[in-house]
Amino acid sequence: MAVQKDKAALREQIARRAEQEMESGMYVNLGIGMPTMVANYIDPDKQVVLQSENGLIGIGRFPYEDEVDPDLINAGKEIVTEAKGASYCDSAESFAMIRGEHLDLAVLGGMEVAANGDLANWMIPGKMIKGMGGAMDIVHGSKKVVIIMDHVSKHGEPKIVQECSLPLTGTGVVDRIITDRAVIDVTETGLTLVETAPGWTIDEITEATGAPLAVAENVKEMTV
């Protein structure tokens, strides 16, 4: 069994691993919640443009106290900074960029991911929500979709499942899943384990996954 890290350390580990999915020249959307943390860990040598649904093209890291501008927010209403060369547009133009398939990568949170790449991440029945947000457009308008989340729920139930039980955000849209325990690819034949998080064994990861999990020949340990 892996050495237990606190929640903040695990979230940082996931965010740092997600940063490795980015390459110079990419336009990237970071979803609300844990995905926004990824902005703090982007390699300064990478020329990556972060796009927000509310119209900020060129999001920077979260601000230090003396940098706070309460009018400068991302789509999750978190205060952010702007990167050098940032620009602004209205929400309609931002979504035209998304729907026009100009995003190279989207990093989003997830409640459930199915073996065929279905994603549920926008609501839990019976709980009040403010709206569906932009995820339904983002998952269809991005060339690659990476989901970052805990491997199991707070009740210990698998969040990677054979079939989603929650309302779907998109069908067959997920390319890769990064959790606190593993990196898993969604392929035409199902799920494939490609990396294990430090301290977790293949057997432990397989047991905590609610769908058949193939194991790549060259499985490696996640590095952050």
Question: What CATH number corresponds to the domain at position 22?
Answer: 3.40.1080.10
Within-domain flag for 71: yes
Residue 205 lies in a domain: yes
Q: How far apart are CA 37 and CA 76, in angstroms?
A: 12
Please report whether residue 1 resides in a domain: no
d(CA 167, CA 199): 33
Mean pLDDT of the chain: 93
Are 128 and 119 within 8 A, CB to CB?
no
Q: In which band, very low, low, confident or very high, does the pLDDT at 143 lie, cut at 50, 70 and 90?
A: very high
Note the pTM of the prediction, 2 decimals: 0.94
- Residue 109 predicted with pLDDT over 70: yes
Using pLDDT thresholds of 50, 70 and 90, give the confidence band for residue 77: confident
Give catalytic status of residue 53 as yes or no: yes
Is 16 a member of any domain? yes
| pLDDT band with cut points at 50, 70 and 90 for residue 5 | confident
* Residue 2, domain member (yes or no): no
User: Span 89-94, mean pLDDT?
Assistant: 94
For 19-55, how does the pLDDT look when each residue is reduced to its tens digit (9 = 90+)?
A: 999 999 999 999 988 999 999 999 999 999 999 999 9
114 occurs within a structural domain:
yes
Active-site hit among 12, 19, 21, 53: 53
Could you tell me the residue range of the domain that residue 130 belongs to? Answer: 7-221
15 belongs to a structural domain = yes
Number of structural domains (the chain) is: 1
Q: Indicate whether 110 belongs to any domain.
A: yes
